[in-house]
Amino acid sequence: MPTKFIPDLNWSDVTPKAVFLNRRQLIAGAAALSVAGPAAAQLDYVKSDYSTDEEPNDLSDIRGYNNFYEFGTGKEEPSVNAQKLTVDPWSVKIDGMVDKPGDYDLADILSGVTLEERIYRLRCVEAWSMVVPWIGFPLADLLDRIGVQSSAKYVAFETLVRPEEMIGQRYPVLDWPYREGLRLDEAMHTLTILATGLYGEEMPKQNGAPIRLVVPWKYGFKSIKSIVRISLTDQMPETTWNMQNPREYGFYSNVNPNVDHPRWSQASERRIGGGLFGGRQDTLMFNGYEEHVAGLYAGQDLTKDY
Amino acid sequence: MTLVDRINQAARRLPAWPIYIGGVLLPVWLFWQAASGALGVDPIKALEDRLGLWGLKLIVAGLCVTPLRRFARVNLIKYRRSIGLLAFLYIVLHFLTWLLLDLGLRWEQALGDIIKRPFITVGMVGLLAMIPLALTSNDRAIRWLGSARWQKLQKLAYLVALSGGVHFLWLVKAWPLEPFLYLGAILGLLAVRVIPKRSRLAA
């Protein structure tokens, strides 16, 4: 860690660019030794006021510890198994209650988009957490371009199904394709982004390349990876973990220390990277994004709408 | 000489104490790996999982001893005590990793988990059931209880195994294969014990 880091500032604000790039190369180099994969391309991006001041996890943590059951249920399996995935060409079907439905090439989706760095906390439903410097853009930008019809109330997402390259899909561990959904106001919220990279580089395959959702106030499984379909609908969409176990995983799945998962407490979390004696920290309401998103749920009983 | 004879002959010669030494070195090695980063970026979870799984493996191994003797005439009974005691050690360390390193002695959360989370409740039942087994795993306890009562008490091992298998299956998300294999093995090993003794003659 650079000693110049001051916790109340953005880390890249205070570190000279040369040092910062150098550090990134060191990390990327270290990661390349342990995690197979070609060197990723650098992305152009601007910084965002929505970034947290917390120190991001090392790239090796973020690339080496993934829940991506399409590539195996072990945390280290995706970093190995995902490297076979073809992410170019990539197209996303956008359909349902939209003005301009169609199959969009990823380049079309990204054309004219200003990528931002959003350093977000990520809280997994399994009670561990990380801080990830995502590169992406608000989902609302895309939805505005596509034109959401007034009848639409929800957005449904689907992950690619390609068992030849996604070996986890050869087993019915989950009901493929992986599906997720958001209420339209959640989807249009400025914190909700489609991410195409992290640490200034193209998205590693095990992290959901080439394009994934990031909803920082919800448990990580809501942030669906490797998206091939976005549908606007007036029905609450089916979501994979809710289909798997409706008692344990609700549609909303907002991070909430006061509503326990039936099989484990959500009151606290283990920050990845803390080592064997890192201990736990308290989990924050809406993962610390309460001031931004609490208004979305005014009048809702979050113990029922969990 | 058949393979079975050879195994039995080797078992008569090889003492049980090396099992204790190797068995105690394993958690030391795991702990060192976890502390040095060799178990990945979430070493607490890794240590917890590995200790629990080794405990369960030994519990299954312990359950194999009687059927092996009965159906294959392989006699490994002299190793059973060391297998059981090491299983107890691993499960106690598994529990302590959870309580001290994972929960960091958040007592309220720990007690809440034990009471409210069925998979943790079941795990605790298994751990508690191991205590009388461990306490009576010595010749003095056998003499004190008498062989018949001691044998009866040792049947607690079945509860331990079932608790362990259910605990493992209940804690995973989705439907990975591994916990089913363990629970299946445990159920199978318990099922063969209800086969009436005389069916062995027919076999």
**pLDDT tens per residue, chain A (306 residues)?**
444 444 555 555 555 555 545 544 555 545 544 444 455 678 999 999 999 999 999 999 999 999 999 999 989 999 999 999 999 999 999 999 999 999 999 999 999 999 999 999 999 999 999 999 999 999 999 999 999 999 999 999 999 999 999 999 998 889 999 999 999 999 999 999 999 999 999 999 999 999 999 999 999 999 999 999 999 999 999 999 999 999 889 999 999 999 988 877 899 999 999 999 988 999 999 999 999 999 999 999 999 999
From the list B104, B113, B170, the residue facing A280 with the nearest CB is B104
Closest among B53, B55, B164, B48 to B97, alpha carbons compared: B48
Q: Which pLDDT score, from 0 to 100, does residue A57 have? A: 96
% residues pLDDT > 70 (chain B): 97
For residue A20, count other CB atoms closer than 10 A to its CB.
Answer: 17
Question: Could you tell me which residues come within 8 angstroms of residue B98 by beta carbon, excluding any fewer than 6 positions away?
Answer: B48, B110
From the list B113, B117, B174, the residue facing A69 with the nearest CB is B174
User: Quick check: bond before B27 cis, omega within 30?
Assistant: no
Q: Which pLDDT score, from 0 to 100, does residue A253 have? A: 97
How many Cβ pairs closer than 8 A exist between chain A and B?
70
Give contacts of B47 with chain A, Cβ < 8 Å. Answer: 276
Grouping H, G, I as helix, E, B as strand and the rest as coil, residue B171 is helix
CATH class of the region A41-293: alpha beta
Average pLDDT for B67-71: 93
Q: Does B195 touch chain A (CB under 8 A)?
A: no
Q: Give the start-to-end residue ranges of the domains of chain A.
A: 41-293
- The answer to whether B151 and B80 have CB atoms below 8 angstroms apart is no
C-alpha to C-alpha distance for A168 and B142, rounded to whole angstroms: 50
Q: Which pLDDT score, from 0 to 100, does residue A222 have? A: 98
**Interchain proximity B101–A265, CB inside 8 Å:** no
Question: Could you tell me which residues come within 8 angstroms of residue B113 by beta carbon, excluding any fewer than 6 positions away?
Answer: A264, A265, B103, B120
ipTM of the complex: 0.78
User: DSSP secondary-structure letter at B136?
Assistant: T
- The answer to whether B110 and B99 have CB atoms below 8 angstroms apart is yes
C-alpha to C-alpha distance for A54 and A121, rounded to whole angstroms: 8
For residue A33, what are the CA distances in angstroms to A30, A89, A140, B38? 5, 27, 37, 14
Q: Does A258 touch chain B (CB under 8 A)?
A: no
- The answer to whether B155 and B113 have CB atoms below 8 angstroms apart is no
Average pLDDT for B182-198: 92
Q: Does B106 touch chain A (CB under 8 A)?
A: yes
Q: Which value, to the nearest 10 degrees, does the dihedral of the CA atoms of residues A49, A213, A219, A172 take?
A: -170
Q: Which pLDDT score, from 0 to 100, does residue A28 have? A: 52
Average pLDDT for B13-30: 94
Query: Exposure pattern of A153-172 as b/e (b: 16+ CB <10 Å)?
Result: ebbbbbbbebeebbebbebe
DSSP annotation string for B105-125: T-HHHHHHHHHH-HHHHHHHH
Q: Does A33 touch chain B (CB under 8 A)?
A: no
C-alpha to C-alpha distance for A202 and A208, rounded to whole angstroms: 10
From the list B113, B118, B170, the residue facing A265 with the nearest CB is B113
Q: Give the start-to-end residue ranges of the domains of chain B.
A: 3-202
Closest among B82, B97, B87, B64 to B185, alpha carbons compared: B64
User: DSSP secondary-structure letter at A54?
Assistant: S
Q: Does B43 touch chain A (CB under 8 A)?
A: yes
Q: Does B101 touch chain A (CB under 8 A)?
A: yes
C-alpha to C-alpha distance for A153 and A233, rounded to whole angstroms: 6
Q: Which pLDDT score, from 0 to 100, does residue A34 have? A: 47
| More confidently predicted of B57 and A278 | B57
For residue B194, what are the CA distances in angstroms to A50, A210, B73, B153, B163? 64, 56, 18, 17, 19
Place of tokens 């034109």: A147
C-alpha to C-alpha distance for A78 and A15, rounded to whole angstroms: 32
Q: Does A247 touch chain B (CB under 8 A)?
A: no
Q: Which pLDDT score, from 0 to 100, does residue B188 have? A: 97
From the list A65, A174, A260, the residue facing B41 with the nearest CB is A65
For residue A26, what are the CA distances in angstroms to A5, A189, B36? 17, 35, 20
> Per DSSP, which regions of B14-70 are E strands?
none
- Give the pLDDT confidence of B126-178 residue by residue, as tens digits: 999 999 999 999 999 999 999 999 999 999 999 999 999 999 999 887 778 89
Q: Residue A145: left (phi > 0), alpha (psi -120 to 50), or beta?
A: alpha
Q: Which pLDDT score, from 0 to 100, does residue A11 have? A: 53
- The answer to whether A27 and A59 have CB atoms below 8 angstroms apart is yes
Residue of A265, A266, A281, A283 to mutate when probing chain B, most B C-beta within 10 A = A265
From the list B47, B117, B174, the residue facing A263 with the nearest CB is B117
Question: Could you tell me which residues come within 8 angstroms of residue A149 by beta carbon, excluding any fewer than 6 positions away?
Answer: A97, A98, A99, A232
Average pLDDT for B19-32: 96
Show the tokens assigned to B58.
Answer: 């030994």
Q: Which pLDDT score, from 0 to 100, does residue A41 have? A: 77
From the list A128, A264, A279, the residue facing B42 with the nearest CB is A128
Give contacts of A266 with chain B, Cβ < 8 Å. Answer: none
Residue of A276, A281, A282 to mutate when probing chain B, most B C-beta within 10 A = A276
Q: Which pLDDT score, from 0 to 100, does residue B173 have? A: 77
- The answer to whether B124 and B92 have CB atoms below 8 angstroms apart is no
Q: Does A260 touch chain B (CB under 8 A)?
A: yes
Give contacts of A64 with chain B, Cβ < 8 Å. Answer: 40-41
User: DSSP secondary-structure letter at A204?
Assistant: P
- The answer to whether A220 and A67 have CB atoms below 8 angstroms apart is yes
**Interchain proximity B41–A273, CB inside 8 Å:** yes
